[in-house]
Chain A
Amino acid sequence: MMYLKVFLVGGLICVVGQLLILFTNLTSARILVAFVTAGVILTALGLYQPLVDWAGAGATVPLTGFGYSLANGVKEAVQEKGILGALTGGVSATAGGIAAAVTFGYLASVLFTPKTKS
């Protein structure tokens, strides 16, 4: 049952991205930026947490979930450390993902050569 919710919500968030590609000609870079920013804003407004509670990875795996982690980390850090937390919270909460992306991304780029384009 949980996996059905994950599939539905995750799939629908991707459909929003696909609609943006089809009807606005946004490049994938702009879509990723829009999604991460939307994730921060929706979390700040308290609208994203219910979706995460309901659909788990369906809401956290899309890039809006990265924005959710950033915003959530900031909120918790501000509660603990005050204004300093506004600067430390977001990156702290997403440090694992960012470090993994940089490290694995670097290793993959060094180890593999691009396939010839057909």
Chain B
Amino acid sequence: MRTLKQKKTPAQQEYDALVKQVSPKSEVPWSLVKAFVVGGLICCLGQAFNDLGEKVFMLDKKGVSAFTSMALIFLSALFTGLGVYDKLGQFAGAGSIVPITGFANSIVSPAMEFKREGFVLGVGAKMFVVAGPVLVYGITASVLYGVIYFIVQMIMGG
């Protein structure tokens, strides 16, 4: 890689201008396509687990959704451990972050990285670097909704 201090030749400047002109147009749609395809496929895998839970294991609606989450989380934890999921992430961007598998990945990745800091403050704490905020905001938002829903029910019902 060239350092910033080196002066660019006119040909390189021309090339840079060309790159600037061309890359946003070609890179942005391509990354969207990758996110779309990978995200869509992960959801299809989830749908396959839904069907498996519903038709083979005869689970009820809640059981099906729990089964699918668990199966996807298990696979994501495994493939993050094997180093495969992060490679997928480099390719797919949000396509691998937004599905629930991305949530599991966000738990395993930092926990593995900080293992040398011990099992309590390394693994145990770093697991929640991303998952913690997700749970904090998700649960708090849902409790607020519950309180509002309760009040609305009371007014409407009473």
Q: Looking at chain B's contact residues, is the secondary structure mostly helix, strand, loop, or mixed?
A: helix
Contacts of A86 in B (CB 8 A): 143, 145-147, 149-150
Whether, in the assembled complex, B58 has its beta carbon less than 8 Å from a beta carbon of chain A, the answer is no
Contacts of A37 in B (CB 8 A): 137-138, 141
Q: Is the CB of B94 within 8 A of A20?
A: yes
In the bound complex, CA of A111 to CA of B77 (Å): 11
Contacts of A57 in B (CB 8 A): 43-44, 46-47, 49-50, 68
Residue pairs across A and B with CB atoms within 8 Å: the count is 275
Q: Which residue of A lies closest to B42 (CB)?
A: A61
Q: A10-B99, A69-B65 are in contact. Are A108 and B78 (CB under 8 A)?
A: yes
How distant is B139 from chain A, measured CB to nearest CB, in Å?
Answer: 6
Q: What range describes how many residues of A lie at the interface?
A: 35 or more
Identify the A interface with B (CB < 8 A).
2-3, 6-22, 28-29, 31-33, 35-37, 39-41, 43-44, 56-58, 60-63, 65-67, 69-71, 73-75, 77-79, 82-83, 85-87, 89-91, 93-98, 100-102, 104-115
